Amino acid sequence: MAGIGFELRKILNRDTFGAQLQAYFLGMVIVLGPFLCSASLLIGLSTYSVDYADLSTRQVFTGAIVYVFGGSLVVTGLVQVVLARYIADKIYRGEYDTIISSYYPVLLITSGLLLLSGIPVVLTFEISAIAKLLILSLYVTIGCLWVTVIFVDTTQGFRAIVAIFLLGSLGAFAAGMILLKYFGLDGLLAGYAMGHAVMLVLLMQRLLMEFGFPASFDWGILGYVRMFPLLVVIGLLHNLGVWIDKIIFWTSDMAISSSGIVTAPRYDSAAFLGFLTTLPAITHFFVRLEADFSVNFQRYYDAVFFRSSFKEIAKAAEVLRKSVFKAFVSVISFQCMFSFLCAFYGEEILTALDLPVSQVGMFRYGLAGSLFLVFLLFSVVILMYLDRQKEIFISVLTLLILNTVLSLLSLKMGYQYYGIGYAVAALAALLVALTHLANQLYSLEYMTFASIPVLGQRRATTKLRAHRGGMYGRYNSVLPTQKGKS
Residuewise pLDDT in 10s, the chain (486 residues): 445 565 666 666 666 667 667 666 766 666 666 677 777 777 777 777 777 777 788 888 888 988 998 899 899 999 989 998 898 888 878 777 788 889 999 999 999 999 999 999 999 998 899 999 999 999 999 999 888 888 887 766 666 777 888 888 888 888 888 888 888 888 989 998 998 899 899 988 888 887 788 888 889 889 989 989 999 999 999 999 999 999 999 988 888 888 888 888 888 888 888 888 888 888 777 777 777 777 788 888 888 888 888 888 889 888 888 888 888 888 888 788 888 888 888 889 888 888 888 888 899 999 999 899 989 988 998 898 888 889 999 999 999 999 999 999 999 998 888 989 999 999 999 999 999 999 888 888 877 777 666 555 555 454 444 444 444 444 344 444 444 443
The residue type at 207: L
| 439 within some domain | yes
pLDDT of residue 421: 92
Contacts of 270 (CB under 8 A, 6+ apart): 359, 362, 363, 365, 366, 419
330, part of any domain: yes
Q: Do both 218 and 254 map to the same domain?
A: no
**7 and 130 belong to one structural domain:** yes
Q: What is the pLDDT of residue 144?
A: 92
> How many domains does the structure of the chain reveal?
2
Q: Are 321 and 438 in contact (CB under 8 A)?
A: no
Closest CA to 271 of 423, 398, 400, 399: 423
**Does residue 97 belong to any structural domain of this protein?**
yes
Q: What pLDDT score was predicted for residue 11?
A: 66
Tell whether 263 and 155 lie within a shared domain: no
My answer on whether 152 and 11 are in the same domain is yes
Give pLDDT, residue 239. 92
pTM of the predicted model as reported, rounded to 2 decimal places: 0.82
Helix count (H) and strand count (E) of the chain? Answer: 18, 4
147, 252: one domain: no
Round to whole Å and give the CA distance between 398 and 241: 9
Please check whether residues 363 and 220 belong to one and the same domain: no
Q: Is residue 465 domain-resident?
A: no
Q: How many CA atoms lie within 13 A of 19 on its CB side?
A: 11
Say whether both 128 and 49 belong to one domain: yes
Question: Is 458 a domain residue?
Answer: no
Please give the pLDDT value at position 475. 39
Looking at residue 478, its pLDDT comes to 42
Between the alpha carbon of residue 365 and those of residues 342, 354, 405, 422, the distances in Å are 12, 19, 16, 8
31-44 per-residue burial string, b: 16 or more CB within 10 A, e: under 16:
bbbbebbbbebbeb
| Cα-Cα-Cα-Cα dihedral sign, residues 85, 87, 92, 95 | positive
Asked whether residue 430 is assigned to any structural domain, the reply reads yes
Same domain, 258 and 178: no
* Shared-domain flag, residues 307 and 395: yes
Q: Are residues 39 and 164 in the same domain?
A: yes
Pairing of strands 464-467, 261-263: unpaired
| Residue pLDDT, tens place only, 356-400 | 888 888 999 999 998 999 899 889 988 988 888 899 999 999 999
| 28 and 87 co-located in one domain | yes
pLDDT of residue 78: 92
With respect to residue 304, please indicate whether it lies within any of the assigned structural domains.
yes
Task: Sort 390 into a burial class: Cβ within 10 Å, 0-12 / 13-18 / 19+.
Answer: exposed
> Is residue 59 domain-shared with residue 154, that is, in the same domain?
yes
Parent domain of 262: 243-450
Q: Is residue 460 part of a domain?
A: no
Residue 185, Cα to own-chain centre: how many angstroms?
A: 31
